[in-house]
Structure 1
């Protein structure tokens, strides 16, 4: 059974340009995600050194919890609108999800560089931009675990698996302009 190793939580991660950016120690996540794969999470296509999570707000704050597990954690689909998982080859032992937090509160230490699965859950993504003060907080949980050897070589073709897609925001991006939807 999978064991939780670490958890880092920040209930007020500032977002700009509609994304939570997960970055390594170089603090760079410069790429344009397509979002058509799962409408929730994308990794940098060339080196995996950055991950972006699509938010319902353009500018604002969201709640983010990041967890390091020793193996794939149990699924929790009942309380989340969207859930997707990707494969990354992470270049460092640091995964920063806020880049503005004090004292490392927005950093999830990893065992080192290498192959990881990253599962993201999101909810309250459809509650408007800008947010009304009475709207529920937009929330994300990021679960990370190492994969090695034969597990890494058996990843899906694009490294992405979608488990649940119920938000309108995610649907707009998954279906996108090819289906005549306005983004």
Structure 2
């Protein structure tokens, strides 16, 4: 498996959120229901054309974030992650970049649409969201691993949902979230 990584101990989150966004996000698409779909769905992540929103436990402050641009589906990490979810998103512009809340891009993380315009699968793995709840500051207590690879659209897959946010919002008896087509 080939992949490139980027890591930051100072990934800034506000309102518990960070994003992947494409060039046509906001001009062609909006995400008025993305956060609602997170709470009504897998508790961690939701996306649509040109965007993805991830929900951290840390309201305002920094988390440790590692990203991977993968050529194909990565193995599930052997590290203990409390919540692990895969979702599908569509890049219509051929660009997907990492953004902090408020619109600041993390240029060093690169373009996640490595195969150009098309469908991608995103795996978000999180631990420490419980510790992050109510935590504010520059010392991260929460960690995420975000992996992206080209793949046909599929329903959301929840591999694990073992933190308080997941136990509160994720209901395994509900149908999985479906990819949103442009």
Q: TM-score range, shorter-chain basis?
A: 0.7 to 0.9
Is contact 2:97–2:105 with CA below 8 Å preserved after alignment?
Answer: no
The answer to whether the aligner puts 1:163 opposite 2:167 as a matched pair is: no
The answer to whether the aligner puts 1:68 opposite 2:69 as a matched pair is: yes
d(CA) in 1 for partners of 2:138 and 2:105? Answer: 25
Name the TM-score, length of structure 1 as normaliser.
0.76
d(CA) in 1 for partners of 2:138 and 2:108? Answer: 26
- Higher mean C-alpha displacement, 48-57 vs 122-131: 122-131
d(CA) in 2 for partners of 1:73 and 1:112? Answer: 19
What is the aligned partner in structure 1 of residue 174 from structure 2? none
Does the C-alpha gap of structure 1 residues 16 and 165 become closer, same or farther in structure 2, counting only changes over 3 Å?
same
Q: Indicate the RMSD between aligned Cα atoms, in angstroms.
A: 2.5
5+ residue gaps, structure 2: 172-182
What is the aligned partner in structure 1 of residue 178 from structure 2? none
The answer to whether the aligner puts 1:172 opposite 2:168 as a matched pair is: yes
Is contact 1:127–1:136 with CA below 8 Å preserved after alignment?
Answer: no
- Once the two structures are TM-superposed, the CA of residue 136 in structure 1 deviates from its matched residue by 5.6
1:14-66, Cα deviation, whole Å (9 max, x unpaired): 1112111111135656333222221111013xxx2110111102211112121
5+ residue gaps, structure 1: 176-183
Name the TM-score, length of structure 2 as normaliser.
0.76
- Once the two structures are TM-superposed, the CA of residue 73 in structure 1 deviates from its matched residue by 0.8
1:72-87 to 2 correspondences below 5 Å: 72-76=73-77, 78-87=79-88
Given the alignment, which residue of 14, 20, 36 partners 1:22?
Answer: 20
What is the aligned partner in structure 2 of residue 51 from structure 1? 52
d(CA) in 2 for partners of 1:115 and 1:134? Answer: 34
What is the aligned partner in structure 1 of residue 11 from structure 2? 13
- Once the two structures are TM-superposed, the CA of residue 172 in structure 1 deviates from its matched residue by 1.5
Q: Which has the higher Rg, Structure 1 or Structure 2? A: 1
